[in-house]
């Protein structure tokens, strides 16, 4: 009751899940982003497509049994997409089984016209995305058309995607064919899919920026999460040989070989700039 009075109690949703408290939203969500509308020299080559893998799952069960209302973070998805679109790239939107993309709509920056514009542009694709299996069946032989695979963050990126064999196949395909892999915050959970069926971690020894478990452990105190996380992402990646470049949920971004990563929602703009400039430089 005291937490509710102080605005620290997570909000109960109609489906029984919880979204962040008033206090958590006040400190972690803004109605406008720091997007920089850069006029890039647009890419003119054949590798103009980017596969974007989104989650189709909404609720994460915490250690105490309560469900967190999650999905993909809209800023972490749409700011990098804005930069890459401005640089001349286009997106194919996919989810594991073709169910609609789930966003953390409580985090949507409702006064950001750039974000609203690209969200509305791709809304039909978010509502009817491709299945990953269909992408594998039809596009693996057309690798010359692709520049990168993008996996946006949000806690929902830890649901289903790390255990999805098709995600692992796609990341191995991208790696083998020198495509870039772009991801941030909790999106690097997708990288765990490369360890399925006892395979060696594809990114052993890579530098990367990831949302820190230490911060996730603190957020239940302000009602951002309704309980402690079911498992820790950053320490899992570290145990597999990843070198973590950040200790805070800040704007850190990292480029190591063909892997581009960011630490948190605060890194979304920087990640977009780094991804756009890197792809323009390397894909000549």
pLDDT by residue for the chain (284 residues), tens only, comes to 545 555 689 999 999 999 999 999 998 999 999 999 999 999 999 999 999 999 999 999 999 999 999 999 999 999 999 999 999 999 999 999 999 999 999 999 999 999 999 999 999 999 999 999 999 999 999 999 999 999 999 999 999 999 999 999 999 999 999 999 999 999 999 999 999 999 999 999 999 999 999 999 999 999 999 999 999 999 999 999 999 999 999 999 999 999 999 999 999 999 999 999 999 999 97
pLDDT in tens, 103-119: 999 999 999 999 999 99
Domains along the chain with CATH numbers? 18-31+43-164+180-282 (3.40.50.880)
Q: Quick check: pTM over 0.95? A: yes
> Catalytic: 185?
yes
Of the listed 60, 185, 279, 283, which one is catalytic?
Answer: 185
Residue among 169, 143, 186, 175 at smallest CA distance from 54 = 186
């Amino acid at each position: 009751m005291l937490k509710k009075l102080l605005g620290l109690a997570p909000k109960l949703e109609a489906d029984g899940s919880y979204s962040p408290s008033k206090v958590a939203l006040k400190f972690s969500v803004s109605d406008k982003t720091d997007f920089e509308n850069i006029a890039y020299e647009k890419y003119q080559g054949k590798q103009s497509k980017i596969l974007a893998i989104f989650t189709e799952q909404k609720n994460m069960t915490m250690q105490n049994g309560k469900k967190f209302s999650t999905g993909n973070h809209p800023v972490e998805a749409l700011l990098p997409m804005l930069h890459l679109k401005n640089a001349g790239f286009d997106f194919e939107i996919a989810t594991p089984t073709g169910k609609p993309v789930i966003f953390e709509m409580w985090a949507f920056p409702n006064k950001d016209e750039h974000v609203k514009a690209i969200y509305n542009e791709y809304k039909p694709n978010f509502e009817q995305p491709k299945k990953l299996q269909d992408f594998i069946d039809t596009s693996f032989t057309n690798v010359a058309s692709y520049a990168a695979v993008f996996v946006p963050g949000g806690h929902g990126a830890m649901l289903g995607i790390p255990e999805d064999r098709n995600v692992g196949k796609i990341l191995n395909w991208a790696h083998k064919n020198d495509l870039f892999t772009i991801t941030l915050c909790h999106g690097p959970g997708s990288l765990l899919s490369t360890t399925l069926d006892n395979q060696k971690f594809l990114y052993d020894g890579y530098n990367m920026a990831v949302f820190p478990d230490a911060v996730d452990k603190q957020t239940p105190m302000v009602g951002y999460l309704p309980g402690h996380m079911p498992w820790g992402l950053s320490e899992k990646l570290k145990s597999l040989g990843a070198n973590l470049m950040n200790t805070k949920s800040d704007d850190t971004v990292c480029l190591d070989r063909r892997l581009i990563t960011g630490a948190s929602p605060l890194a979304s703009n920087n990640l977009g700039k780094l991804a756009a400039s890197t792809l323009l430089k390397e894909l000549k």
